[in-house]
Amino acid sequence: MTKMLDDYALLSPLRYTNNWLKIGVVGFGILMGISSQAPLVPFSIAICMSLATLIFGRVPPKFYLKLLMGPAVFVVFSVIIIAFFFGGGPELFGFNVLDYRLGVNTGGLSMAFLVFSRTLGGMCCLFFLALTTPMVELFSVLKKTRLPDSFIELSMMMYRYIFVFLDVAWCIKHAQTVRLGYHDLRTSLNSMAMLCSTLFLRSWEQGEKTFVAMNARCYDGKMMIFEEKRPVKFSEVALSLGYMVTIVGVWYVSNGMLEASLW
């Protein structure tokens, strides 16, 4: 099976960087991106976070681009709808469909471009965190935020068994495929129904086994989560501050240019 995000996070050199620093950098990028009224800021954030992921995180560029292409398909459809049905101003181009005029105006195109840039910037920020920080360490950070223990424990179990049941589903589907279980529509539907029912029963049985195993180990309602203390290095702080200052500067310049154009 192909590598998961956690596989790259476990091998990333940035895994040993302080988790709170990475979360702060990502949160700063997302907040600056959604607060900007000009697309230059989110694009700058996307470029900076992508370079950090590829250079410092040593993520293969081919895999990173493939990762971005998944949600990009939905973003493109959303941007097209915004361009045609929102905004105002002079019409740039259009056509008639059953006596209904569909056109793209300047306001709609600007809004679509801004939404696309914000989405791209947010995606790059979240992928930076996902590709450089294992999920187990994120759970330890959540533990420090004093969220309910039951919420964190359920999240940990759900995350753990997603991959377990994905592997089971893949094995079952492979066995069905070699037995011609998907050679036409009827057998495909039958095989998919059998796969879903088997996976449901497996998950139910695994849940009962997990409950018995936890009780046998004196489970008292709390799971211990250990966090490795990682001091923040001066170089990491300097690089993060340089990134933040650059984005703030771009934010002020772009918003000032936008206000000047409106006047």
Domain span at residue 151 reads: 146-215
Residue with tokens 């840039």: 117
Task: Give a yes or no: residue 96 inside a domain.
Answer: yes
Look at 117 and 150; give whichever has higher pLDDT: 117
76 with 178, same domain: the answer is no
Claim to verify: residue 184 and residue 68 sit in the same structural domain: no
Residue 140 lies in a domain: no
Distance (Å, rounded) from C-alpha 123 to C-alpha 117?
10
The answer on pLDDT for 80 being more than 50 is yes
224 in a structural domain: no
Mean pLDDT of 85-97: 71
86 and 187, same structural domain? no
In a domain, 45, yes or no: yes
Residue 165 covered by a domain: yes
The pLDDT-based confidence of 125 (bands split at 50, 70, 90) is very high
* pLDDT surpasses 80 at 229: no
Mind listing the pLDDT tens digit for each residue in 174-195? 888 888 888 888 888 888 888 8
| 141 found inside a domain | no
Whole-angstrom distance, CA of residue 125 vs CA of residue 232: 20
Instruction: Tell whether 31 and 116 lie within a shared domain.
Output: yes
My answer on whether 20 and 66 are in the same domain is yes
pLDDT at residue 225, as a whole number: 67
Using CA atoms, how far apart are residues 106 and 163, in angstroms rounded to an integer?
46
- Express as a percent the part of the chain with pLDDT over 70: 90
Residues in the chain: 263
Q: Quick check: 26 pLDDT over 90?
A: yes
96 plus 197 within the same structural domain: no
**Is 182 found in the same domain as 91?**
no
The CB-side HSE value for 80 (13 A sphere, CA atoms) comes to: 6
In whole angstroms, give the CA distance from residue 209 to residue 207.
5
Q: Is the pLDDT of residue 133 over 60?
A: yes
With 80 as the cut, is the pLDDT of residue 149 above it? no
**Residue 102 sits in the same domain as residue 199:** no
Q: What region does 111 belong to: left with phi over 0, alpha with psi -120 to 50, or beta?
A: alpha
Six token digits for residue 237: 């702080």
Domain presence at residue 91: yes
Query: How many structural domains is the chain composed of?
Result: 2
- 60 and 102 fall within a common domain: yes
Give the model's pLDDT for residue 124. 92
Q: What is the pTM of this model?
A: 0.77
Distance of CA 126 to the CA centre of its chain: 5
Same-domain status, 81 and 115? yes
Does one domain contain both 97 and 27?
Answer: yes
Question: pLDDT tens, 50-72?
Answer: 999 999 989 999 989 988 888 88
Q: What is the pLDDT of residue 226?
A: 65
- Given a contact cutoff of 8 angstroms between Cβ atoms, the answer to whether 110 and 87 are in contact is yes
Task: For residue 244, give every residue at least 6 positions away whose Cβ sits within 8 Å of its Cβ, in sequence order, or none.
Answer: 25, 28
Q: What is the mean pLDDT of the chain?
A: 82
The pLDDT of residue 83 is 79
Q: Do residue 165 and residue 128 come from a single domain?
A: no
Give the model's pLDDT for residue 51: 93
| Cβ pair 15, 56 in contact under 8 A | no
Q: How confident is the model at residue 104 (pLDDT cuts 50, 70, 90)?
A: confident
Structure tokens at 14: 């940035």
pLDDT score for 2: 41
Note whether residue 251 is domain-resident.
yes
